[in-house]
Chains A and B, each alone.
Chain A
Amino acid sequence: MSTRGKILSAVRANQPVLTSMPDIEPLKAYSNKETVLAQYTTVATNIGAKVYEVKSLDEVKTVIQSNFGTDKRIISTISELNDIADTKEYLSDLPVQLADVELAILQSDLAVAENGAIWITEDQMGQRVLPFITQHLAVIVNAKNIVATMHDAYSAIGISTQGFGAFIAGPSKTADIEQSLVIGAHGPRSMSLFLLNED
């Protein structure tokens, strides 16, 4: 018998009597939808992100231009930003060729208030490595797309056909050296979150 067969036989022989799968609906009752924008802003700031409430992409451009030099490599998946960023050429780069990206500006359609995260899928990343290899990350998300908890998030996401997706909560960090928090480990050194509130 193959290893696979042996393992599955052993598992089946040893597993206990079937118990029922619990319902996770009761957990959803605790979602507080009233305060999601305020909660999201507070939590995202606490985890090291810079949060900007903006009314338009023009505002986003202004902030970016004042914070990041124009001589650095800036990439975006958002075509409207093609005047401040490369929105095309990078797609034909090999992943390692993105090592010199200073800023990546991406779009997300889902944010989670309880932990300050955004959900972003492969098709929103341009290239998988981009949100990680860039020195700085900026994400634009519509304020209407903030949900309260992870249960709400997975309800919204459902089962997708995307090959890769990630919750990203703030800039990369580590506290491995004597529990001293350092922002900017291997991923981006900073994360700018633009909450688009067109109302």
Chain B
Amino acid sequence: MTVGLFIPCYVDQFYPGAAIATLQLLEKLGVTVVYPPKQTCCGQPMANSGYEHLTSGCNELFIDNFSDFDYIVSPSGSCILHIKDHLHSEKRENEAVQVRRKVYELTEFLTDILKVDHLDAVFPHKVGVHQSCHGQRGLKISQMTELVAAPFSKPEQLLNMVKGIELIPLSRQDECCGFGGTFCVAEEVVSVKMGVDRVSDHLEHGAEYITGADMSCLMHMEGILRRQGSHVKVIHIAEILNSSVQ
């Protein structure tokens, strides 16, 4: 099985640690991982702003880079959801459909395909888990509180395999952090208020770290934490699952 590694543009540029951890974790679990060097972006920032009609360049690049792999894995729920819902090609729609069927966000790949039941990770800290909306409600990575349905969480299932970790409870388990793509600047006031409230929930429950499957949410919350002068850090879930004894 060969996995094509797709790294979101902002993770590549600003949070390479999350990408490195994703790569190393998959390799530790016995996966052959290839990182196509010509990848750029899934196109979501344009599409969500109403400019989906400008994303064909990104779509074609994505198909060029990834159509040959058994699976395509990315440490980002929102990018994967975007590809799943919106990857199209005028000339190669069949290939686009195939690609859409084999894209996976990291945690769901670990639980559903690799069926990981054990990790050698160690992370003795109090951690708050942020449920990023697109992964949760879009990819069904964990149950949402809106539905009358049995609870489950793939990220937490994996985190519970990490030694020493303590997952803190939250008052609002799955409220949006307010990043929302260009929303974070177009509606800056409400975006920040949502982020501040989300961060407060974690702080009130004693988080030392806030983690999640989407670096975009974490980047937004980190911006707020650092502006507040807080010592609480954000960390992508891949980095926790990949952690070991220091």
A/B touching: CB–CB < 8 A? no
